[in-house]
Structures are given as structure tokens and as C-alpha cells.
Amino acid sequence: MIIFLYGPDTFRSRRQLKKMINKFKQERDPQGFNISILNCAQEKNNQILEQILATPFLAEKRMLILENLLSATKKTDLQEKILEYLEAKSLPKENIYIFWESDCKPKTNVSKNLFSRLLQEKYAQKFEIYKGTKLSAWVNQEIQERGGKISPQALEYLVKNIANDIWKLNSIIDQLISYKLEKEIELKDVELFLDEKIDDNIFNLVDALIAGQSKKVYQMIREQYRIGENPQFILSMILRQIKILLELRDLYDREDILSSDLLAKKLNLHPFVIKKSLPFVKKYNQNKLKNIYHKLLEIDIKTKTGQGDQSMLLDILVGKITS
């Protein structure tokens, strides 16, 4: 089976790819022994060809994901060989091949021919950037599926201001739902989250919090209050950022990965968030981050269940973490 996923909307194509991998794991390969993911721009040709011709290991099916084959400008020989396999239909029938492209604009004759051949496949799917009413419908559906709701004015403003960045849009949706809980997202909420200064403020606040700089943290929280933020918003943003740092630290400890783009793909986050977070990853160990995260969860539950004044609970949290 040949599957071709391509187009400018890498968020939706990545999510589709992830669904396919998860389904294959659940139905055929829980341990992942028969799943291989290759970045064709980085791997050597002979290694890629070996993987392409390899058959399943103690299983009926094998899944091979070939990323960025068409956009790899120095892989003409590889592209030509794979085209030959496709034309001759000589690839192992037990294998499922998924070709994933982030920027499908082939420049050489060989890559153009390969692109045309992949388009002929039954399971070729293009992911265009949604616009206008289609994008609005998608955002509204995403919010509903994640347990939230949004006013028409807020939806219009959100789509209008982040129309071309689905990765950022996805991140903002999660933040808004976390912030509003089960309440409807209003225009003022979207305006608040689209202020880029908030991101910088939260990054700096979290850095000071982990470093144990209590005086600085209290000052920064008071400044957030002054400009109109509420304790629940500040807490949800701190919690989200600590979770991201924890996930990044875990990947770093296990795989020593520091590529922003690769980390963004693995964690399904916008590369901007990863680039902002990376400088903090080496500074703090996993145990410290876990300890802070658990304390945050305790306070988060208390604020959501009305077990005390939110600002007072936030101050208690800062005291516990920085002491």
C-alpha cells in the first residue's frame, strides 16, 4: 500500500500521519518493531533503500514512513530508484509506505516525475491551508471536540488574526480551553491570548519560579494583575509551560535531541514554543520539574474546586516552590 500525504498545512498532515501510526500500533504492532521513520534529507541512500526493501519482522505487515523525499535536493539517485520500484510495482507487498512532504514543490525532473507518480496513488491526500468559512468551521469543530465553546465574535477574531499558522492556532485553542474551563470563550479572552507579550512574560515568570527567585516572581505576578490578568490564567499558563519543559527534558534525557523542528513534531507543538523553551531545558533537571508540576496540579485542582481564594493559593504555590 502506498500513501502520500503532502501540502502546506503540516499540522493536519502530521496529525493524520500520527493517527495512522497509532492505528498500526494498536492493530498490528504494539511494540513498534515494524515501524520505521526516515528523514530522506538526512539518511544515507543505501540505508533508506535497505529499509524500503526490508520485509516485516515476525509480523504480517510493516510500516515505513519516508519524509521529505521530494524536497531532498541532493537525493536524485534515490528518487530515481524509488520511482523505478513504483513503476515496476516491485516493492514488498507486505509493507505500507507513507510518503510525507512538508513543502511539496519538486524542482528537478526526477522529483517532478516522482511527484506525478505518487499523485496517481489511491491514497494521495493534499492538505491545503483552510481559509475563510472553512477555517472557521474547522476551528469551531476543534474547540467543541476538546470540550470547549466559543462565541461567534471570538471565533471571527481568532481566525482573522492567525489565519495562516495552524500550529499556533492549535496551541492557542488549547490555552483558551484550559483558561476558560467549561465556560464560553469570549472576544476579550482571544484578544488577551493573542498578545505576544504574554508569552514572554510567562517564560520569564516560569524561569524565575524554577530558579527560586521568590521576590522576582511575586513582583511579576503583581504586574500581571496590574495589566488585567487573573490568577487562574496565570496558573494555567505556568502549568502549561512547566508541562512543556518536562516533556522536552524527558526527550532530551532519553534521546539527546535538540533540533527545534524535530522536537516540535514529536510534541505536536509550534516550533516557536519549542525555541522559546529550549534554553531552559538544560538548566533544570527532570526531578525538579516533576516536583514543581505536581505542586502546580494540587493548586490547580483547589482553584477549580473553589477551595480558597485564587490569588492566595497562587501565592502559597510560589512560596512552596521557591522555599
Q: Where does the pLDDT of residue 63 fall: very low under 50, low under 70, confident under 90, or very high at 90 and above?
A: very high
Same domain, 136 and 119: no
What average pLDDT score do residues 251-271 get?
69
pLDDT at residue number 305 = 67
What percent of the chain stands above pLDDT 90? 29
pLDDT at residue number 81 = 92
What average pLDDT score do residues 194-220 get?
77
* Whole-number average pLDDT of the chain: 84
Amino acid, single-letter form, for residue 301: I
pLDDT at residue number 140 = 95
pLDDT at residue number 270 = 60
User: Is the pLDDT score of 258 beyond 70?
Assistant: no
- 7-16, 79-88, 162-171, 286-295: least confident range: 162-171
Residue where a domain stops, chosen among 191, 209, 233: 191
Same domain, 285 and 301: yes
Same domain, 165 and 49: no
**177, 189, 205 from 150: Cα distances, Å:** 9, 10, 28
What CATH number does the domain containing 35 carry? 3.40.50.300
Write down how long the chain is. 323
pLDDT at residue number 227 = 67
Same domain, 104 and 60: yes
Task: State the Cα–Cα distance between residues 295 and 27, nearest whole angstrom.
Answer: 37
Picking from 17, 27, 23, 85, the residue whose alpha carbon sits closest to that of residue 59 is 27
Quickly tell me which residue has 516572581 as its cell. 217
* CB of 12 closer than 8 Å to CB of 100: no
> Beta strands 35-39 and 2-6: pairing type?
unpaired
Q: Where does the pLDDT of residue 184 fall: very low under 50, low under 70, confident under 90, or very high at 90 and above?
A: very high
Name the strand (E) or helix (H) holding 65: strand 62-67
Same domain, 116 and 185: no
pLDDT at residue number 154 = 94
The SS3 assignment for 97 reads strand
pLDDT at residue number 164 = 72
* CB of 247 closer than 8 Å to CB of 266: no
pLDDT in tens, 114-127: 999 999 999 999 99
Burial 64-73 (b: 16+ CB within 10 A, else e): bbbbbbbbbe
pLDDT in tens, 135-179: 999 999 999 999 999 999 999 989 988 867 788 788 888 888 877
Comparison of pLDDT for 277 and 65, the residue scoring more: 65
User: Is the pLDDT score of 188 beyond 60?
Assistant: yes
Host domain of residue 74: 2-126
Same domain, 97 and 178: no
User: Is the pLDDT score of 257 beyond 60?
Assistant: no
Residue where a domain stops, chosen among 85, 111, 126: 126
User: Is the pLDDT score of 249 beyond 80?
Assistant: yes
User: Is the pLDDT score of 254 beyond 80?
Assistant: no
Other beta carbons less than 10 A from residue 306's beta carbon:
8
pLDDT at residue number 39 = 87
Task: State the Cα–Cα distance between residues 242 and 295, nearest whole angstrom.
Answer: 11
Residue where a domain stops, chosen among 169, 191, 213: 191
What CATH number does the domain containing 237 carry? 1.20.272.10
pLDDT at residue number 255 = 67
SS (H, E, C) 197-245: HHHHHHHHHHHHHHCCCHHHHHHHHHHHHHCCCCHHHHHHHHHHHHHHH
pLDDT at residue number 13 = 92
What average pLDDT score do residues 75-97 get?
91
* CB of 248 closer than 8 Å to CB of 215: no
Q: Where does the pLDDT of residue 250 fall: very low under 50, low under 70, confident under 90, or very high at 90 and above?
A: confident
Picking from 66, 70, 68, the residue whose alpha carbon sits closest to that of residue 113 is 70
How many independent structural domains does the chain possess?
3
What CATH number does the domain containing 147 carry? 1.10.8.60
User: Is the pLDDT score of 57 beyond 90?
Assistant: no
Comparison of pLDDT for 8 and 181, the residue scoring more: 8
What percent of the chain stands above pLDDT 70? 91
Comparison of pLDDT for 42 and 13, the residue scoring more: 13
pLDDT in tens, 278-318: 777 777 778 888 888 888 888 877 776 667 777 888 888 88
